[in-house]
Homo-oligomer: A and B are copies of this chain.
């Protein structure tokens, strides 16, 4: 129906001959219909008038006349020296087109037909697209080169032999039982969280865990607390499920529960990264933990503990899981293997209170099915043989060294007046900037010189964003960190003493 090649789009048009309607009107109408139908999509470049005239069997003047008409209608756009394009919003009716000017978001995105309201919310969140090749100082990326690929492949080879006969019909949506057992064991040892294998629900990662939990435990419009600043993936998953997101401020002791109680709506669900707040690195203090659990138990709120990197605490073990202190069983614990192993493994888990097991299992089965059986089998073996624990220990040592290298590099290039960084955990440090700095623009400028940072201010919602840059160190060798570090000197004029809570 639509031919397209290097020369541009040559849509097929319907022309009746003879007809009482002039040919240029027939062609224009045919193009309008094609655009409305979606056969001709916004943004496409049309072939030249010469080619179209030949393809359509009309004179070149006719084509030019059609172009002029449709440009006037806003359906086509003419770019001098470049050609004629189908307008991005060609499909909208003229009034809507006039009113949505600029609203459609980035110019590469079409105006959408009839998404649901919840679909539009999903679309309004940023698309992270294909993960980029890691380069300094990308945060949230583990050292991909350290992944024990050989022992992983060896295990893959071993376990895949078991993948025959009945095993191929699948497993429970809650996951492969030996993996659930291994995780229950791991969590009860490393996080002091007593649980049975039944309570472990294997997911394809934290986003799925958040999605499931916020659907099962909160309805559209229910207030849900999240940290401010906080993880954008959390924001996106909650927004997608229609949450009334209440941002609760974070300081050096983590989420400020008293401020939440005072200023936010009473929540149905509270998302908290207690062991290490993202992105500030704050650890929820004992009194805050107590206040949070007491509040949840008193009001009946649920808690999701996003335990995304408690295994990367360098100086001392992380504080125990909230659930270990939670007498009311109101905590859903969420762990991931994306930070300790690799993101592409797509495995994470939830530890849910006993009485929520059927709901979570059912929800998985109805909306997603189980995670990759093969990878669950390999991971179970890794955990049972101690390979996983050994890898995590190795990574802890490696990251701790890399954090030291990064901090020295920062001091070297930005002067020794920069604040002491929190160096006990995580995969990034936060470099605080003066309030007059524009961290988004600075990050862009640094990206142009080849180094990648994440600005701090977008993690805030509401008026009081701090300026800063997240610098990741986990995925990079010391020499990569020191080499890239030279470019940080461009920040010299913007560095500020740390604010509390962003150490």
A: which residues have CB within 8 A of B? 1-2, 36-39, 41-42, 91, 109-119, 122-123, 125, 127-134, 141, 144-145, 147, 149, 153, 156-157, 160-161, 163-172, 194, 196, 204-205, 207-208, 211, 215-220, 222, 233, 236-237, 240, 268, 300, 302, 327-329, 342-344, 346, 353-356, 358-359, 361-363, 365-375
Q: How far is the CA of A366 from the CA of B122 in the complex (A)?
A: 8
**With known contacts A119-B215, A169-B342, A366-B122, A355–B110 Cβ distance under 8 A:** yes
A207 to B368, Cβ gap below 8 A?
yes
Partner of A208, one of B166, B218, B368: B368
Complex contacts, A109 vs chain B, CB 8 Å: 358
Q: Which residues of B contact A170 (CB under 8 A)?
A: 131, 342-344, 346
The 3 closest A-B pairs by CB, nearest first: A372-B372, A38-B329, A119-B216
- Tell me the bound Cα distance from A2 to B118 in angstroms: 43
Decide: A113 and B355 in contact? CB cutoff 8 A. yes
Chain B nearest CB, measured from A125 CB (Å): 6
CA distance A131 to B153 in the complex (A): 28
Nearest-neighbour CB distance to chain B for A300, whole angstroms, equals 6
A168 CB to closest chain B CB, in angstroms? 4
- Alpha-carbon gap, A471 to B115, bound state (A): 39
20 A-B pairs within 8 Å (CB atoms) are namely: A37-B328, A39-B329, A109-B358, A110-B354, A110-B355, A115-B359, A116-B268, A119-B215, A131-B171, A141-B169, A147-B164, A156-B156, A168-B344, A205-B368, A207-B367, A208-B368, A211-B366, A233-B366, A346-B372, A368-B368
**Which B residues are in CB contact (< 8 Å) with A141?**
169
- Cα–Cα, bound, A160→B378 (Å): 13
Q: What chain B residues lie within 8 Å of A363 (beta carbons)?
A: 119, 122-123, 240
